[in-house]
Structure 1
Amino acid sequence: MQGVTVVDHPLVQHKLTIMRDKETSTAGFRRLLREISLLLCYEVTRDLELTTRKIETPLEVIDAPTLEGKKLVFASVLRAGNGLLDGMLDLVPAARVAHVGMYRDHETLQAVEYFFKAPSDLANRLVIVVDPMLATANSAIAAVDKLKERGATNLRFLCLLAAPEGLERFRAAHPDVPVFTASIDRNLNEKGYIVPGLGDAGDRMYGTK
């Protein structure tokens, strides 16, 4: 699908397989989510613009590459997005952070917003929205809508798993926002969960299942 990148690195796929296993403990799931988020972050930031600055090594003065422009914003879709956020901040500790509180109404499957806090100058920054699951895409679409309302123009969406139905809806709603995922699974079940999937990422991460 145009605008969708599947990160098929062997380490990503290996860790994802362990996370899918229902016997994996809460502690193990949380650790793997942090590890895999770091690997995914490499891919979603692969084409960041660089400039150079003059530095002095122990041997000579050189013009060395460094990131250009303002710092990134990682926008976590609460609550499960924080699991991806932790590993990404390990890699880019200077990134700004936005929080978008969304929960899914289990009757209507629609996203309900309950919290929003973001840096004020989103228009001048790359905003990477993180949420482990792109299922119905209702929460993802609502989160990106909100960030665009606050001025964000350069966005990317990063998730662990995506359903074909969710990808189609998200790309239709936000064709300018590329999606990065570790897997496109088979479909959604009647309750709006990704199958084969890995269950509810938030429940498995926080032990609330």
Structure 2
Amino acid sequence: MRVHVADHPLITHKLTVLRDRETPSPQFRSLVAELITLLSYEATREVRVEPVTVQTPVAPYSGLALSKPVPLVVPILRAGLGMLDGMMAVLPNAEVGFLGMARNEETLEPTTYAERLPEDLSGRQCFVLDPMLATGGSLGAALEFLFQRGASDVTAICILGAPEGLARLEKETEGRDVRLVLGALDERLNEVGYIVPGLGDAGDRLYGLAQ
């Protein structure tokens, strides 16, 4: 697995505001979209393209266009939805699938409760959106789900990661073509599986507690 931790000052600035517990949900959602747009530039560095020629007002020009099939963006519900607009700002022609996963708060292991994905992902570049790489369980299970559908080229984008989750993901994806883009790699997990210092529960901060 190839890992890229962003070090751009604008990314760090936006992350600092996201971490602030006083940042309200509307501002939090807006900042997440902006942050993911920035991270997406790095995540799509190896997006597949093919040569094309267009006619400018002055002369022909040989450039590039996205290859077919177009990339597939897969947000992990529900928090991954908050990252979707930022990603689609960079890849507006991509297709979108969904994968619903929830963490058991006792075992900290994920369960899949919904999916909307092609049956065959062979030849598709997939971009998975999951705000927090904490224990690595949800993201690891999501990647395995895509591999079982035939995916072989997967990039995951996370706002924050913890060393424990990163180590687990590296072990579970050994031998696979996986790229991970992080806004920051934090210190550790606490006793209940939250990233420290982190930013709390991303889903709750995006959309409220929904009790």
Runs of 5+ unmatched residues, structure 2: none
CA distance in 2, matches of 1:140, 1:103: 11
Alignment of 1:26-37 (within 5 A): 26-37=25-36
Hey, what's the Cα distance between the residues in 2 that align with 1:48 and 1:150? 20
Matched, 1:148 2:147: yes
Give the match for residue 160 of structure 2. 161
Q: Give the distance between the partners of 1:10 and 1:50, measured in 2 at CA.
A: 29
Correspondence 1:60-79 to 2 at 5 A: 60-79=59-78
For residues 94 and 135 of structure 1, the distance between their equivalents in structure 2, rounded to whole angstroms, comes to 30
Query: 1:19-51 CA distances to partner (integer Å, 9 max, x unpaired)?
Result: 000010100000000110111110000122332
Alignment match, 1:194? 195
Q: 2:170 and 2:68 mapped to 1: Cα distance?
A: 27
- Structure 1 residues 77-86 or 190-199, which shifts more? 77-86
Distance 2:96 2:66 in 1: 18
Question: Shift of residue 151 of structure 1?
Answer: 1.2
Name the counterpart of 1:86. Answer: 85
- Residue 54 of structure 1 and its aligned partner are, at CA, apart by 1.6
1:132 is matched with 131
| Deviation, structure 1 residue 123 | 1.0
CA RMSD of aligned residues (A): 1.3
Unaligned runs of 5+ in 1: none
TM-score by length of 1: 0.95
Letter in 2 for 1:33: V
Identity among equivalent positions (%) equals 44
Q: Which residue of 1 aligns with 2:206?
A: 205
How many residues were matched structurally? 208
- Listed one character per residue, the Cα deviations across residues 74-119 of structure 1 (whole Å, up to 9, x for unaligned) are 1111110111112111221111111111000111111011001113
Rounded Cα–Cα distance in structure 2 between residues aligned with 1:185 and 1:197: 7
Take 1:120 and 1:113, find their aligned partners in 2: how far apart are those partners? Answer: 16
TM-score for both structures, normalised by structure 2: 0.94
User: Contact 1:96/1:119 (CA < 8 Å) preserved in 2?
Assistant: no
Deviation at 1:11, TM superposition (A): 1.0
